[in-house]
Structure 1
């Protein structure tokens, strides 16, 4: 898209909140700022705390509560916070939605829909009187408002194309330097199998029952340093959870020389998003737990051979920052 030299970017982001989405939003702000654009973070859902999470001070971004509603300016919104699209005070400013997670949009939309489902004729009322009745951010409503859209993954790109939304490009995030600083290649690998109990359910429990003698380690209630400690010394990380986007933990595991097994839900269904070698991605509806258990045992026993299969994926992760910079330059017309 064409951006004027006097344009101002406002990036909407949850205040004092550290997860993959906010990190990506700060990465985008940092890159736009380095290209010479005028960029401000606009923090939402604020409390009495400093809105800038300590993890993001390194991006050195200014923030503001005031937004100039001009056609030359641009607001960038995560897919979970689309209310500004329908507000009169933002009627002139260009609006871009960055689809960091298709799933989180659907969850948020369903929650909003649930709140108004008992209000008679709410859809018509919100269309006729949006000042009083906040419109639901349906796909049709986004099209009517001529919102521009950025994909984050091939999963989200497919979603945008299927729904015929106007796409201006694809920008994926990158692993921050803090992850690379935790890599400890000198640590001896052991036969630990890591998993996140918050993201794995009954299917993994069936797999675990087939391998009761293995050392299973749940990554729960741990600091980032503790997670890194276990990834550096373990041979395998398993994630059968839903992948709403390009998840960070599998990438972190690969950087720390773990083999990785995933399911095929959400973004994991797309090999371009989660490019695991053949035999390390399973479909829970088709593949038996016995097949997974066999791959686990083979991976642990032949680790030195199996880890080599992940070298292409690791190189792709190493190139994320360069690809991110190139994508931002391309989308916002910087050569």
Structure 2
């Protein structure tokens, strides 16, 4: 057997690892013991520990590939995922689009709240405490999905929104910083550290008013998502036949 880590989420690994490290770091003489005998006293999956154990690594996104290269971990390839076949049954292209702006409150924070405060008259819909069918219902009837989360990997909801013919606006954290991971058209990706909430609010208003023109800008991204399953199978064959 070979031990392989498939890096679906870089950011969540960092968050959970740091929490675990804090939980054990206060133990008596832990730092000294882990230094003198790292194999015994460093049970946490740190980068050095993964190297010592000669764990192989699979990237999932260009974001994770960059992370693995930066940390000089042994990489055997890149395999992205794809939408479940059952998801496509939920797409309803005949549904009339309305001026709803969708967002996931668990994935957004203060920056989006500032944007929302500038657009009080818009119909904002939080995708929370919903079944997959309910999420699909709102995506099918809405014009826009907004996601200023930290994008630990290639996020599912933005891709679902694209397939259900929503325009998408994101920030530039995590994988969203990589155009190869989140290939949005120009003007639909914002850097929260630089771009003002007013700029986002203006793009939202423009997108809702000119939806029929704007949605065509997402056709290339949509075709890329539709090809994910075929690309997944090819990547699996390439990685494991090669190794």
Q: Give TM-score, length-normalised by structure 2.
A: 0.95
Q: Alpha-carbon deviation of 1:121?
A: 3.5
Q: Alpha-carbon deviation of 1:334?
A: 6.9
Deviation string 1:114-160 (CA, Å, 9 cap, x unpaired) is 11111243245357667864522221111111111000000000000
**Greater RCO, 1 or 2 (C-alpha within 8 Å, sep 6+):** 2
Are the counterparts in 2 of residues 150 and 169 from structure 1 also a CA contact under 8 Å?
yes
What count of residue pairs does the alignment treat as equivalent? 243
2:6 partner SS:
strand
Q: Alpha-carbon deviation of 1:179?
A: 1.4
Are the counterparts in 2 of residues 126 and 135 from structure 1 also a CA contact under 8 Å?
no
Partners of 1:154 and 1:182 lie apart in 2 by: 29
Higher helix proportion (structure 1 or 2): 2
Partners of 1:159 and 1:132 lie apart in 2 by: 26
Partners of 1:227 and 1:263 lie apart in 2 by: 21
Deviation string 1:170-202 (CA, Å, 9 cap, x unpaired) is 000001112111000000000111111111111
Partners of 2:81 and 2:150 lie apart in 1 by: 19
1:258 counterpart residue number: 166
Partners of 2:208 and 2:28 lie apart in 1 by: 59
1:104 counterpart residue number: 12
Answer with 1 or 2: which has the greater Rg.
Answer: 1
Structure 1 147/225 Cα, relative in aligned 2: closer, same or farther at 3 Å?
Answer: same
Are the counterparts in 2 of residues 152 and 171 from structure 1 also a CA contact under 8 Å?
yes
Q: Alpha-carbon deviation of 1:234?
A: 0.3
Are the counterparts in 2 of residues 170 and 327 from structure 1 also a CA contact under 8 Å?
yes
Greater shift, 112-121 or 266-275, is seen at 112-121
Stretches of structure 2 that go unaligned for 5 or more consecutive residues are: none
Q: Alpha-carbon deviation of 1:210?
A: 1.3
Q: Give TM-score, length-normalised by structure 1.
A: 0.70
1:273 to 169, 181, 186: 181
Partners of 1:132 and 1:164 lie apart in 2 by: 23
2:39 partner SS:
coil
Are the counterparts in 1 of residues 151 and 174 from structure 2 also a CA contact under 8 Å?
yes
Are the counterparts in 2 of residues 123 and 135 from structure 1 also a CA contact under 8 Å?
no
Partners of 1:210 and 1:131 lie apart in 2 by: 54
For residues 1-335 of structure 1, the aligned pairs below 5 Å read 93-126=1-34, 133=41, 135-333=43-241
Q: Alpha-carbon deviation of 1:247?
A: 0.1
Are the counterparts in 2 of residues 127 and 135 from structure 1 also a CA contact under 8 Å?
no
**What CA RMSD, in Å, does the superposition of the two structures yield over aligned residues?**
1.7
Are the counterparts in 2 of residues 151 and 167 from structure 1 also a CA contact under 8 Å?
yes
Stretches of structure 1 that go unaligned for 5 or more consecutive residues are: 1-92
